[in-house]
């Protein structure tokens, strides 16, 4: 064989190895009805993790996930993560966590895809226009509880891997899955499992991908940060029992008045947090960040109308986005023990408990925030000279998560978005909390990217949750393209 023939064979071999995106995208387009039916099957399962009476449904959902991954030839395990204790002292087995592996080539990168298949509660009488557990296609939108959060994104990842298999194309990277069923109630048992498997399941993982979030506008997005959450109870206790306001009003110092008085000192009407030390701990907004926010596609009027208010806290895009994503907020959620039923009741509650939270951002530390809030409320309460007792407890202390947008993972993400959508993505942060991101970062030390495919108007946790067919199908193509882009990363940054 002459040198010309040898070089020709080499050219043919490299052409075969080239990324065949067009063929993969065509395969996805021609199988979209099958993908919608798969989502229909998953949405039909009432995998509500907050309702213990639905635990059998949740277990069935995890079995369905495992079965789908097994049918694709993955190495699949359903991992026991223990039990949860119920309020009455009894215990209930937690749903198992599904793990799967496709490929184990030591010469390839290995990515781990995280997702969840439990959902928020939903009932037709809550105000749904369609049955929440019956996927309904209206004008290209697929309505159903869990459609966007997080069943369609999980299926899109599974279908992305299956598309390579169906066309007998080698996966460009090794792919692992970790799919759980308790995300909506705090991912019980997951932290311990991640720690236990740090040196086994996660040992060869290079990157972790989370697709449990959404775009900010019609422009695709990559998410690089989330806020954490410190959740507090402030309890004021006075008389030994509830009292009649006609008989005792004016004779006792009322716990509810004390409680509302101290709550009023947490935040000003303009949104300024009044607790000493909180604002001082926040990482300053850099010029580069300001520019990034300025470039993001975001319609203030549309956002205001969607929320249903006449005025927002801030009237320019950068200020609003900064206060949604990278500044802390105080929110007062409710008061337990107060009279809240319809009608009138002239009661002085003996003990009332306020529930409020402070969203965490870099460089805040939940342990420091706990002390700042506790000390501050006790000092404010002492000035009231009340005989009532105040008790402050922090029941959640979730840290924020932040990634480097210059990391090769994000460069790969930008390239994949460009290929599929012919535009650059917005780089955004999430105002909410996704604690598993920080757990992955702290326990495994791996680099993480959040790659959403959900729409900005999907109504997560709300009535009429949906994912559009466009986002679901094009999102599958995005994941296909992303696996190829990640395989091109030459060095770990």
Give the model confidence (pLDDT) of 299-348 as tens digits.
999 999 988 999 999 999 999 999 999 999 999 999 999 999 999 999 99
Tokens of 68: 């789908």
Tell me: do 138 and 244 sit in the same domain: no
- Could you tell me how far CA 233 lies from the centroid of its own chain? 23
Does the pLDDT of residue 5 top 60, yes or no?
Answer: no
455-479: average pLDDT: 96
pLDDT (tens digit per residue) in 108-165: 999 999 999 999 999 999 999 999 999 999 999 999 999 999 999 999 999 999 999 9
Q: What are phi and psi of 93, to 5 degrees?
A: -65, 135
- Could you tell me how far CA 205 lies from the centroid of its own chain? 21
pLDDT the model gives residue 490: 82
88-105: average pLDDT: 96
Tokens of 117: 């298949």
- Proportion of the chain above pLDDT 90, given as a percent: 93
Tell me: do 128 and 40 sit in the same domain: yes
Domain termination residue (choose one: 379, 398, 417) = 398
402-413: average pLDDT: 96
Residue 10 pLDDT grade (very low, low, confident, very high; cuts 50, 70, 90): very low
424 is catalytic: no
pLDDT (tens digit per residue) in 216-229: 999 999 999 999 99
Q: Which of 46, 48, 57, 118 is catalytic?
A: 118
pLDDT the model gives residue 160: 98
Question: Tokens 């789908």 — which residue?
Answer: 68
Tell me: do 207 and 101 sit in the same domain: yes
Tell me: do 48 and 188 sit in the same domain: yes
Residue 251 pLDDT grade (very low, low, confident, very high; cuts 50, 70, 90): very high
Whether 243 is covered by a domain: the verdict is yes
9-17: average pLDDT: 43
Tell me: do 352 and 477 sit in the same domain: no
Whether 309 is covered by a domain: the verdict is no
Which domain CATH number covers 28?
3.40.630.10
- The neighbour count for residue 198, using CB atoms within 10 Å, is 15
Question: Tokens 């460069």 — which residue?
Answer: 411
118 is catalytic: yes
- Proportion of the chain above pLDDT 70, given as a percent: 96
Q: Are strands 426-430 and 221-226 parallel, antiparallel or unpaired?
A: parallel
Tokens of 413: 């993400």
Domain that holds residue 55: 21-226+400-488
Domain termination residue (choose one: 398, 419, 450) = 398
Tell me: do 87 and 222 sit in the same domain: yes
Whether 311 is covered by a domain: the verdict is no
Does the pLDDT of residue 448 top 50, yes or no?
Answer: yes
363-378: average pLDDT: 97
Q: Is the peptide bond before 150 cis (omega within 30 degrees of 0)?
A: yes
Q: Please, are residues 318 and 294 in contact by the beta-carbon 8 Å criterion?
A: yes
Q: Which of 48, 183, 212, 258 is catalytic?
A: 183
Whether 296 is covered by a domain: the verdict is no
Quote the CA–CA distance of 445 and 429 in Å, as a whole number. Answer: 21
Whether 456 is covered by a domain: the verdict is yes
Whether 477 is covered by a domain: the verdict is yes
Whether 336 is covered by a domain: the verdict is yes
Does the pLDDT of residue 2 top 60, yes or no?
Answer: no
Q: Please, are residues 428 and 224 in contact by the beta-carbon 8 Å criterion?
A: yes
Domain termination residue (choose one: 381, 398, 415) = 398
Rg of the chain in Å (alpha carbons) = 25
Does the pLDDT of residue 16 top 80, yes or no?
Answer: no
pLDDT the model gives residue 8: 42
Does the pLDDT of residue 416 top 70, yes or no?
Answer: yes
pLDDT the model gives residue 17: 56
Residue 87 pLDDT grade (very low, low, confident, very high; cuts 50, 70, 90): confident
Tell me: do 455 and 377 sit in the same domain: no
Tell me: do 413 and 355 sit in the same domain: no
Does the pLDDT of residue 13 top 50, yes or no?
Answer: no
Count of structural domains, the chain: 2
Nearest one of 58, 93, 63 to 78, comparing CA atoms = 63
Does the pLDDT of residue 7 top 50, yes or no?
Answer: no
Tell me: do 390 and 409 sit in the same domain: no
Three-state secondary structure string covering the chain = CCHHHHHHHHHHHHHHHCCCHHHHHHHHHHCHHHHHHHHHHHHCCCCECCCHHHHHHHHHHHHHHHHHHHHCCCEEEEECCCEEECCCCCEEECCCEEEEEECCCCCCCEEEEEEECCECCCCHHHCCCCCCCCCEEECCEEECCCHHHHHHHHHHHHHHHHHHHHCCCCCCCEEEEEEECCHHHCCCCHHHHHHHCCCCCCCCCCEEEECCCECCCCCCEEEEEECEEEEEEEEEECCCCCEEHHHHECCECCHHHHHHHHHCCCECCCCCECCCCCHHHCCCCCHHHHHHHHHCCCCHHHHHHHHCCCCCCCCCHHHHHHHHHCCCCEEEEEEECCCCCCCCCCEECCEEEEEEEEEECCCCCHHHHHHHHHHHHHHHHHHCCCCCEEEEEEEEEECCEECCCCCHHHHHHHHHHHHHHCCCCEEEEECCCCHHHHHHHHHHCCEEEECCCECCCCCCCCCCCEEEHHHHHHHHHHHHHHHHHHHCCCCCC
Supply the pTM of this predicted model.
0.90
Which domain CATH number covers 233?
3.30.70.360
448-471: average pLDDT: 96
Tell me: do 394 and 405 sit in the same domain: no
Residue 11 pLDDT grade (very low, low, confident, very high; cuts 50, 70, 90): very low
Mean pLDDT of the chain: 94
Does the pLDDT of residue 462 top 50, yes or no?
Answer: yes
Tell me: do 193 and 209 sit in the same domain: yes
- Poorest-pLDDT segment among 13-17, 90-94, 176-180, 313-317: 13-17
30-53: average pLDDT: 97
Q: Please, are residues 81 and 96 in contact by the beta-carbon 8 Å criterion?
A: yes
Tell me: do 256 and 156 sit in the same domain: no
CA distances from 116 to 8, 152, 225, 425 (A): 48, 10, 19, 24
> Burial code of 435-465, b = ≥16 C-beta within 10 A, e = fewer?
bbbbbbbeebebbbbbbbbbbbebbbeebbb
Q: Please, are residues 20 and 169 in contact by the beta-carbon 8 Å criterion?
A: yes
Whether 493 is covered by a domain: the verdict is no
């Amino acid at each position: 064989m002459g040198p010309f023939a040898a070089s020709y064979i080499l050219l043919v071999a490299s052409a075969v190895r080239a990324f065949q995106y067009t063929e993969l995208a065509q395969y996805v387009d021609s199988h979209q009805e099958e993908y919608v039916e798969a989502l229909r099957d998953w949405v039909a399962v009432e995998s509500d993790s907050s309702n213990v009476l639905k635990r059998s449904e949740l277990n069935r959902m995890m079995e369905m996930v495992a079965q789908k991954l097994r049918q694709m030839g993955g190495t699949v395990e359903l991992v026991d993560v223990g039990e949860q204790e119920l309020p009455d002292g009894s215990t209930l087995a937690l749903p198992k966590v599904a793990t799967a592996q496709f490929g184990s080539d030591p010469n390839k990168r290995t990515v781990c895809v995280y997702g969840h298949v439990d959902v928020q509660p939903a009932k037709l009488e809550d105000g749904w226009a369609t049955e929440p557990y019956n996927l309904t296609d209206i004008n290209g939108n697929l309505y159903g509880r869990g459609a966007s959060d997080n069943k369609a994104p999980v299926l899109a990842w599974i279908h992305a891997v299956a598309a390579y298999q169906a066309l007998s194309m080698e996966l460009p990277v090794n792919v692992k899955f970790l799919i759980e069923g308790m995300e909506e109630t705090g991912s019980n048992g997951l932290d311990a499992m991640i720690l236990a498997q740090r040196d086994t399941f996660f040992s060869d993982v290079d990157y972790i991908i989370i697709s449990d979030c959404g775009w900010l506008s019609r422009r695709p997005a990559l998410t690089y940060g989330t806020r954490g959450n410190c959740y507090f109870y402030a309890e004021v206790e006075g008389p030994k029992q509830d009292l009649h306001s006609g008989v005792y009003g004016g004779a006792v110092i009322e716990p509810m008045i004390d409680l509302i008085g101290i709550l009023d000192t947490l935040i000003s009407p303009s949104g300024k947090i009044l607790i000493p030390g909180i604002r001082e701990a926040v990482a300053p907004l850099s010029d580069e960040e300001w520019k990034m926010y300025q470039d993001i596609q975001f319609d203030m009027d549309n956002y205001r109308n969607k929320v249903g208010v006449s005025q927002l806290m801030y009237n320019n895009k950068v200020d609003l986005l900064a206060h949604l994503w990278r500044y802390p907020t105080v929110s007062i959620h409710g008061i337990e023990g107060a009279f809240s039923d319809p009608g009138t009741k002239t009661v002085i509650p003996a003990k009332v408990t306020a529930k409020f939270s402070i969203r965490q951002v870099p460089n805040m530390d939940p342990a420091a925030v706990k002390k700042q809030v506790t000390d501050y409320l006790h000092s404010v309460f002492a000035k009231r000279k009340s005989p009532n007792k105040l008790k402050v407890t922090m029941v959640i202390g979730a840290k924020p998560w932040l990634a480097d947008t210059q990391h090769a993972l994000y460069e790969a993400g930008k390239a994949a978005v460009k290929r599929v959508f012919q535009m650059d993505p917005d780089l955004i942060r999430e105002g909410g909390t996704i604690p598993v991101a920080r757990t992955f970062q702290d326990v495994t030390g791996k680099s993480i990217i959040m790659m959403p495919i959900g729409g900005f108007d999907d109504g997560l946790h709300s009535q009429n949750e949906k994912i559009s067919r466009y986002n679901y199908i094009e999102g599958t193509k995005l994941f296909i393209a992303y696996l190829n882009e990640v395989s091109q990363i030459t060095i770990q940054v």
